[in-house]
Amino acid sequence: MLSNTYHRFAGSNLERLAALSDGIFAVAMTLLVLDLHVPSIEPPGGAGPLWAAGAWHAEHALWSALVGLAPRVLVYLLGFLTLGIFWIGQQTQLNHFERSDRRLTWIHLAFLLVVAVMPFSTSLLAEYTALRVALLVYWLHLLMLGALLLASLRYAARAGLIRDDGPATAGMRAAAERRIVVAQALYALAVVLGAVSTYLSVGLIIALQLNSALAPRIRPLDRY
């Protein structure tokens, strides 16, 4: 009885859930990049004007070192895009909720746990882009993020936590659900192609995320 009272009030504050989410997304998005280390070149050189003898040599060494970081930068771009897409996905849901409850809060905490692990799985993919295991781990994270957003939507609908904005509400929810399912099906397809080449998979996933970010551009994909 009394503990029911506790459960009824615990975790009901949507604003603080949103604030915690923004904080975790902000830290994860920044830590993604933290793994980019300044390369060390030998000798550092420089300091003279550009037309001094040997000035171009050190410049070239640093340039090559930076170009060598490019594939890694691409994977981090993917990591940032992914976090951005799911941040928008989550905030769109939260905007439509009337309030939260304990269970919905835990669904979102599980979602945030996966978000917090993204820098790890992104680093793993950056380090071992050629290996399917790294790709599968990354995909598993995408899958969990999608599944948890879907779970949040369904639970909120069942528990009556969604704000009723008139006739549009049911359509919105169906559209949001379809969107998650279609995106997940496309991610899965991209990962299956990893049997041939993981680079193909990563390229496809980046293309899907870019489409989602720049949407609605590819009409056939936008119908869902």
Stretch 89-128 residues interacting with a second copy (CB under 8 A): 89, 91-92, 94-96, 102, 105-106, 109, 112-113, 116-117, 119-120, 123-124, 127-128
Is the CB of 117 or the CB of 144 nearer to a second copy?
A: 117
Question: Within 20-49, which residues bind a second copy (CB under 8 A)?
Answer: 20, 22-34, 36, 38, 40-41, 44-47, 49
Q: Select from 71, 130, 160, 164 the one that contacts a second copy (CB under 8 A).
A: 130
Question: Within 174-203, which residues bind a second copy (CB under 8 A)?
Answer: 174-176, 178-179, 195-199
CB of 152 to a second copy, least distance (A): 15
Residues constituting the chain: 224
CB of 78 to a second copy, least distance (A): 12
- Rounded alpha-carbon distances, angstroms, from residue 205 to 75, 178, 179, 183, 202: 10, 18, 16, 10, 5
- Rounded alpha-carbon distances, angstroms, from residue 169 to 80, 97, 159, 164: 30, 11, 15, 6
Question: Within 155-174, which residues bind a second copy (CB under 8 A)?
Answer: 168, 171-172, 174
Task: Give the range of 1-9, 142-150, 154-162, 183-191 binding a second copy by CB under 8 A.
Answer: 1-9
Spatial CA neighbour of 86 closest among 172, 147, 3, 161: 147
Tokens of 112: 């945030």
Is the CB of 160 or the CB of 218 nearer to a second copy?
A: 218
Assess 13 for contact with a second copy (CB under 8 A). Answer: yes
How many residues sit close enough to a second copy to count as binding (CB under 8 A)?
95
Q: Is the CB of residue 101 less than 8 Å from the CB of residue 74?
A: no
Query: How far apart are the C-alpha atoms of 7 and 210, rounded to whole Å?
Result: 41
Q: Select from 189, 207, 215, 218 the one that contacts a second copy (CB under 8 A).
A: 215
Query: How far apart are the C-alpha atoms of 212 and 133, rounded to whole Å?
Result: 25
Query: How far apart are the C-alpha atoms of 95 and 123, rounded to whole Å?
Result: 31
